[in-house]
Amino acid sequence: MSQKPKQLKVEPRLLRGFRDILPEDLIARDRMIGAIRGVFEAHGFAPLATPALEPLDVLGRTDLEDDSGTGGGSIFRVVDPDEPGAFYGMRFDMTVPLARVVSQYPDLPRPFRRYAVGPVYRVDKPGPGRFREFLQFDLDIVGSEKMEADAEIVSCMVETLQALGLERFKVRVNNRKILSGALEFAGVPDEQREAKVAGRSVAFDVRLETLRSLDKFDRVGFDGIAELLGGGRRDETGDFKFGVGLADTCIDKLLAFLRVPNRARAESLEALRALMGGNALASEGISELAEIDAVLTALGVADAHAAFDMTIVRGLAYYTGPVFEAVLLDAPEFGSVFSGGRYDGLVQRFQSAEIPAVGASVGVDRLLVALQHLKLVERRSSPTEVLITVMDPSQRNQYLAMAAELRRAGIATEVFLGGRNFGKQLKYADRLGIPIALIAGGDEFSRGEVALKDLWAGRELSKQLASFEEWRENPTQVTVARARLIDEVRAMRERQRHFEQKLRSAQA
């Protein structure tokens, strides 16, 4: 008898810079995305989907030897199998496809309010928390010059973070016009200079390098900024960073600019007018911030959640007006989790007309990790809310009927498909984070009853909230009438959510 040829085994592996997202993280991410989408749609933003592949020139490349994109990210190139020599690129952000859509469909209503969520791809060097495929979630208003549009983006940022259970955060707002005006006000020369780096001369733009230095404020503080603007600074590793070489008078004025109060928005505006009101460009930016403040105040956005902060420097080659970024006050190590600004040159590569635009992007994966760090995410590996345990296989039809009834009521339910061992069934539910187990055998069915076991209480409260007498007074397993199954499951889930919120508040 001839032997079957030995099947070649393939090593299961991932491409470098890519990852699998297993159920526990994906369920949490999908719920987070759902909450974000709810806020965006409440503000009238409509969804837009575009292909992952775009023509290379649409992405800003015509030279096949150069794979860098318009946004600075490197582009994955794809060969067309049906057209020899034809290459396409994988999108590296959501903004370039938006610009193409706005130019390609001139009949779209203006202002065009859209959100988009999907994976983007960059040929970056992989590292911890840095992947070549990652998710972006953007919202933009295209076609409005009004600062009310910028204020609405900021308002959406605030409402989004609140919808995710966050309270201690701040959306920090600045304006590129104010930053440029600050350079004029301080007398920073508009010229090229050279610095010695590793024994060789390096040319740099004085104003651009000044802004890059200001952007390091969160890391180095006032003293570090003074060194970077002056003769240079040696960092904690011993490496020396050349300085811009500004005069002391310039440095003093820039430090005064950075010290503008960033608590109450009205206080910030007053200080800015007193400091730089005589500079035309800065005054224009200050007036724009005043318009934003008026709208935010009307919308009820508190100073504690949205403030004007002159230390915010971002998108030096991209943004043209207000810029914003959100930071979590209890997890500042995660940096900006939601950022954006006004970029009025959106479609200039596609048409001669200038179309104003403003938007922001959620750092989905970074924000999710931050929420997990703050214990604001329910850890579950399954969407199932009720596991129906199988105590008596002869009652299988009863179990299936209850599952169908619960599902029709919108309660995610599964019937256990493994063996009869009750302990293993509960261990299965515990491992997946299922909050309720339904227990019933022949005796319960004959009495028209079922038992509901509160698995969430056993996992969470027995070790964390022993002081909550209100919860301890409620048994973790109750027997209920079969006819009231839906109402009793809903009541138990509502009670779990209530005490989960108490747990989060206690931890905060």
pLDDT of 404 reads: 98
pLDDT of 68 reads: 47
pLDDT of 461 reads: 60
Angle (CA) 162-167-169 rounded to 5° is 95
| CATH architecture for residues 23-52+91-188+246-373 | 2-Layer Sandwich (3.30)
Cβ atoms 152, 256 nearer than 8 A? no
Give one word for 220, left, alpha or beta, with left for phi > 0 and alpha for psi -120 to 50: alpha
User: CA–CA separation, 292 vs 47, rounded Å?
Assistant: 25
User: CA–CA separation, 217 vs 226, rounded Å?
Assistant: 10
Cβ atoms 312, 325 nearer than 8 A? yes
Q: What is the pTM of this model?
A: 0.88
Token pair belonging to 178: 């104010």
pLDDT of 72 reads: 43
Residue ranges covered by each domain of the chain: 23-52+91-188+246-373, 386-507
pLDDT of 102 reads: 96
pLDDT of 166 reads: 95
Q: What are phi and psi of 472, to 5 degrees?
A: -65, -25
Residues of the chain with pLDDT under 70: 1-2, 62-73, 460-475, 504-508
Q: What's the pLDDT tens digit per position in 255-314?
A: 999 999 999 999 999 999 999 999 999 999 999 999 999 999 999 999 999 999 999 998
pLDDT of 69 reads: 44
User: CA–CA separation, 308 vs 282, rounded Å?
Assistant: 14
Nearest to 95 by CA among 28, 33, 141, 155: 141
pLDDT of 50 reads: 98
Cβ atoms 244, 228 nearer than 8 A? yes
pLDDT of 352 reads: 86
User: CA–CA separation, 245 vs 497, rounded Å?
Assistant: 58
pLDDT of 507 reads: 63
The fold of the 386-507 domain, in CATH, is Rossmann fold (3.40.50)
Give one word for 197, left, alpha or beta, with left for phi > 0 and alpha for psi -120 to 50: beta
Nearest to 154 by CA among 175, 136, 173, 177: 173
Task: Decide: helix, strand or coil at residue 254.
Answer: helix
Identical fold at 23-52+91-188+246-373 and 386-507? no
